Amino acid sequence: MSELIQNIRFLQEGPFAIPRWEALFSNIDVIWQGLLVTLLVASLGLVLALALGTVIGVMSTSHWRIARAVARVYVEFFQNTPLLIQVFMLYNAIPLMYPGLFIPVVVIGIFGVGMYHGAYIGEVVRAGIQSIGRGQLEAALSQGFSYVGTMRYIIIPQAMRIVLPPLTNQAVNLIKNTSVIAIIAGGDLMYAGDSFAGRYGHYGPTYVVVGLLYFLLCFPLARLTRRLEDQTRAA
């Protein structure tokens, strides 16, 4: 059997050779550490994105013109420029403007994906709020609810059903987009994989494992999105 394996060239040389797999798995801790950073950036980034998105969404449906304008500018800026350049601005420009201020790359990642996906979630929240008839808002306000109270007790609970599927979809995109911090040496899963692969040239196995890990993070959420979409359609 081992002789047979030794005679198959594909397993001995080339990008997916067995020694490359062995090298990867004897250094697999590097990958786990990267995965941990990705999980940290994704979860805190998601919290930030949800908070910002809710504020932006509520602002863009408010009566107050300035609030609507601010929300509009925020959304248009973040949706129409690459995440990468926003991350680079945080990474390069802030230390230039405030010399001596040191921001860890992980924090830049959290703010990068948080603010970027906050814009998308803001649009999702806006669409959710607007899907609830104007009458609901007027009824609640006429009953003495404050604007915030109306949102909290009347509009948001109903909008949840419409908002949830695109929201989980944004969570998937957010996880995938945490990978851009690899370009500023973010220490995340992509960076860990890429720098390990680059050091020894073991690209094949490393990318397979890194890809599988991203898939395992995203696929359950993507399935959930599909299920929620079906539920919304059925309702």
Q: Which residues bind other proteins (CB under 8 A)?
A: 15, 76-77, 79-85, 88-89, 92-93, 96-97, 172, 176-177, 179-180, 182-183, 190, 194, 197, 203-204, 207, 210-211, 214-215, 218-219, 222
Q: How far is the CB of 49 from other proteins (least distance, A)?
A: 17
Q: How far is the CB of 15 from other proteins (least distance, A)?
A: 6
CA dist 128 and 125 (Å) reads: 5
Residue number with CB closer to other proteins (21 or 88): 88
Residue number with CB closer to other proteins (67 or 208): 208
Helix (H) or strand (E) holding 135: helix 134-142
Residue number with CB closer to other proteins (131 or 143): 131
Q: How far is the CB of 109 from other proteins (least distance, A)?
A: 13
DSSP 54-113: HHHHHHTTSS-HHHHHHHHHHHHHHHHS-HHHHHHIIIIIHHHHSTT----HHHHHHHHH
Residue number with CB closer to other proteins (91 or 150): 91
Residue number with CB closer to other proteins (153 or 219): 219
Q: How far is the CB of 233 from other proteins (least distance, A)?
A: 9
Nearest to 113 by CA among 191, 53, 28, 158: 53
Nearest-10 Cα torsion for 114, 118, 120, 124: 130
